[in-house]
Amino acid sequence: MNIPNMLLQMAKGSLVTIQIFAVTLACSVPFGFLLTLAYISKNKVLKKVTGFYILLMRGTPLLLQMFFVYYGLPFIPGIGTYMRFDPFTACCVAFSLNYAAYFAEIFRGGLLAVDKGQFEAAKVLGLNKFHTYTKIVIPQMVRVSLPAISNETIILVKDTALVTAIALRELLHVTKGIVNTTANIMPYAVAAVFYLAMSYVLTVLFAKLEKKFAF
């Protein structure tokens, strides 16, 4: 296999990796924030259910969760007929559910870091709960949470390699195929460069965001 063809195949695999990353991030961040609001709510039942969900997602391997969504759900009576996902969708569902739990804890930590005096000041200013959160609390929560969010997103880039276990043609799966075909381990080094490049872009992006939210 010539080098241009190898790079083209790996670039296509990287595109799938980026798609999984983008879908997961777009779904898990808002869901994670909703989980945070549910966990800090005064409803005890909702809080316990949310707490159990977060424990389950963080306490079991992501690979196991992915296998359950892809292989396990179709065998559950009643819902199995409607829960047969293709590999890409199954990965996105499993990753989104898993990462939402981690983002929920990150956001909860960010909210706890906001001084209670901010809420009292907002009440004195006559702001309702919605404006208190959107104009005062959430911006401060984001500022505090950004380093942890940055770290989690970089981990997400690397975790996408797990989807090779269900034969989805992302970067690592394509790379393994090339190595097996050519009996040359150099594609692994090239794949590492691809992952490093994606991580570097995220690092630079979050560094700029941290400067923007710094005050």
Q: Mapped to the 3 state alphabet, what secondary structure does 155-181 carry? A: HHHHHHHHHHHHCCCCHHHHHHHHHHH
What pTM was estimated for this model as a whole? 0.91
**Which residue from 69, 101, 106 is spatially nearest to 88, judged by alpha carbons?**
69
| Whole-number pLDDT of residue 109 | 92
| Whole-number pLDDT of residue 215 | 59
Going from the N-terminus, what domains does the chain have, and what CATH number goes with each?
Answer: 3-213 (1.10.3720.10)
| Whole-number pLDDT of residue 123 | 78
| Whole-number pLDDT of residue 79 | 76
CA distance linking residue 118 with residue 140, whole number of Å: 10
CA distance linking residue 49 with residue 187, whole number of Å: 45
Residue-by-residue pLDDT tens, the chain, 215 positions? 688 888 899 999 999 999 999 999 999 999 999 999 999 888 999 999 999 999 999 999 999 999 999 999 888 887 767 778 899 999 999 999 999 999 999 999 998 888 777 777 777 777 787 788 778 888 888 888 999 999 999 999 999 999 999 989 999 999 999 999 888 899 999 999 999 999 999 999 999 988 887 75
| Whole-number pLDDT of residue 22 | 97
End-to-end CA distance of the chain: 53
